[in-house]
Amino acid sequence: MSSASAPGTPAPLVGRPARGRPWGEALFAVGLVALGVFTLVEASGIIVPGSANVMGPQAFPYAVGALLVGTGAAVLLALVRGHRGQAEQGEDVDVSIGTDWVTVGKLIGSFVALIVLVEPLGWPLAATLLFTGAAWSLGAKPWWRPAVIGLVLSLVVQVTFTQLLGVYLPAGLLDGVPSLNG
């Protein structure tokens, strides 16, 4: 926020500086309207059993669909008039900078890796990959440090959950290793 805090013009702490056009937000609002339309269409396809009394299973979905369309349109209208939403504040968030797509992409990639690999590799190894990938994406250095921490964390969780809490987590490749089996 260095550029905005010139003398006399205090930096707005709340809200990001309006930079460019709010395409993302507009897309989100359109998405809300689309979800609403979808809800309305889908609601008309819900089967109403003959036994259903005055208010069947369709009415509430219709109302929700209408609310989605209405609020989505209202947000869109507000955007056209220049009222943008204020990005949420947080201790670790710098609202004055733009979206860092690379980091987010890496983070989502790490999560997708977990989804794809959890069945073939098992929970402990796939979760290690998630932890390592996420920490590395966010800037942990050197890369092997999160890998070691992630592996230890995953194994501790595996033992605690399967042996102490009785919750199933697939051991995958580590199947057969004592005290890891779910």
Partner 1 sequence: MGDVGALLDGFATALQPTYLLYALIGVLLGTAVGVLPGIGPAMTVALLLPLTYTLEPTAAFIMFAGIYYGGMYGGSTTSILLNTPGEAASIITCLEGNAMAKAGRGAAALATAAIGSFVAGTIGTVALTLLAPTVADLAVQLGPADYVALMVVAFLTVAAMLGSSPSRGLASLAVGLFLGLVGTDTLTGQQRFTFGVPALADGIDVVIVAVGVFAVGEALYVASRMRHGPIPLVPISGRWMTRSDFRRSWRPWLRGAAVGFPIGTIPAGGADVSTFLSYSLERRVSKHKKEFGHGAIEGVAGPESANNAAAAGVLVPLLTLGLPTSATAAIIIVAFQSYGIQPGPLLFENEAALVWALIASLYVGNVLLLVLNLPLVGMWVKLLQIPRPYLYAGILFFAALGSYSIGASTVDLVLLLCLGLLGWAMRSFGMPIAPAVIGLILGPLAEEQLRRTLAISQGDLTALVSSPFAVAAYSLLVVLFVVGQWIKRREARIENELAAMLAERERVERTATKG
Measured between its terminal Cα atoms, the distance across the chain in Å is 51
- Our CB check for partner 1 shows the closer of 141 and 178 to be 141
CB of 43 within 8 A of CB of 65?
yes
Burial of 179 (0-12, 13-18, 19+ CB in 10 A): exposed
- Our CB check for partner 1 shows the closer of 31 and 177 to be 31
Number of CB atoms found within 10 A of residue 121's CB = 20
Given 55, 82, 142, 178, the residue binding partner 1 (CB under 8 A) = 55
Q: Which residue has the tokens 């926020």?
A: 1
DSSP code for 122: -
Given 19, 20, 23, 90, the residue binding partner 1 (CB under 8 A) = 90
Count the residues of the shown chain that bind partner 1, applying the rule CB under 8 A: 96
Given 21, 34, 83, 156, the residue binding partner 1 (CB under 8 A) = 83
107 Cβ contact partners less than 8 Å away, ≥ 6 residues apart: 133, 134, 137, 138
Q: According to the binding rule CB under 8 A, does residue 18 interact with partner 1?
A: no
State the minimum distance, in angstroms, from the CB of residue 50 to partner 1: 10
Q: According to the binding rule CB under 8 A, does residue 180 interact with partner 1?
A: no
Given 19, 23, 99, 178, the residue binding partner 1 (CB under 8 A) = 99
Q: According to the binding rule CB under 8 A, does residue 49 interact with partner 1?
A: yes
Given 17, 34, 80, 103, the residue binding partner 1 (CB under 8 A) = 103
| Helix, coil or strand: residue 80 | helix
State the Cα–Cα distance between residues 171 and 88, nearest whole angstrom.
39
Q: Which residue has the tokens 């399967």?
A: 162
- Our CB check for partner 1 shows the closer of 112 and 173 to be 112
Q: According to the binding rule CB under 8 A, does residue 169 interact with partner 1?
A: yes
Q: According to the binding rule CB under 8 A, does residue 44 interact with partner 1?
A: no
Residues 109-168 that bind partner 1 (CB under 8 A): 110-112, 114-115, 118-119, 123, 127, 130-132, 134-140, 146, 149-150, 153-154, 157, 161, 165-168
DSSP code for 160: I
